[in-house]
Amino acid sequence: MRPTDHVEAKHNRRQGGTRSFAPLEKQHDDAALEPLKIDALKIGGGVNALKPGVQIDFGTGVTVVFGENGSGKSGFVRVLKRAAGVRIAEDILPNIRDNVKPTPKATFTVAVGKRRVHGCRCCLVPRID
């Protein structure tokens, strides 16, 4: 297959459909994409038992997250996986002890190239294809 060929990929196996994807170099102009870095992730609510407003700041290298069982590590990872759009992302569940079941919310602070962008909100509910 040549890089300029269109690629057909299976989409939603249950429906047997296909999607046609244009080659990557045809989807973007010749300008280089600026690097994207997540600087911070702030929970807005509805994410496990994490309190609204709790935040994790990411360093310039590797950020290590550790803590006791039930401290919220997996909640942050679920938010990151859902925001990244990975194929197998667990549902983000609300606090089981609360009567109210809010929609999960989070806000990212990101750097695009040398610009810092505050308040990038992300849909954290499962996509329906």
Report pLDDT digits (tens) over 50-74.
999 999 999 888 888 899 998 889 9
Average pLDDT estimate for 94-115:
87
Residue 64 domain-assigned?
Answer: yes
Tokens (6 digits) for 45: 């609510």
- Dihedral (Cα; 86, 89, 95, 98), 10-degree rounding: 100
Residue 19 domain-assigned?
Answer: no
Nearest to 103 by CA among 122, 120, 117, 85: 122
CATH number at residue 86: 3.40.50.300
Residue 79 domain-assigned?
Answer: yes
Please name the residue that has the structure tokens 């999607």: 19
Percent of the chain with pLDDT over 70: 70
Considering its fold, how many domains does the chain have in total?
1
Assign 22 to helix, strand or coil: coil
Contact 69, 84 (CB under 8 A): no
Please tell me the predicted confidence (pLDDT) of residue 40. 92
The pTM for the full model equals 0.66
Q: Is the pLDDT assigned to residue 122 strictly greater than 90?
A: no
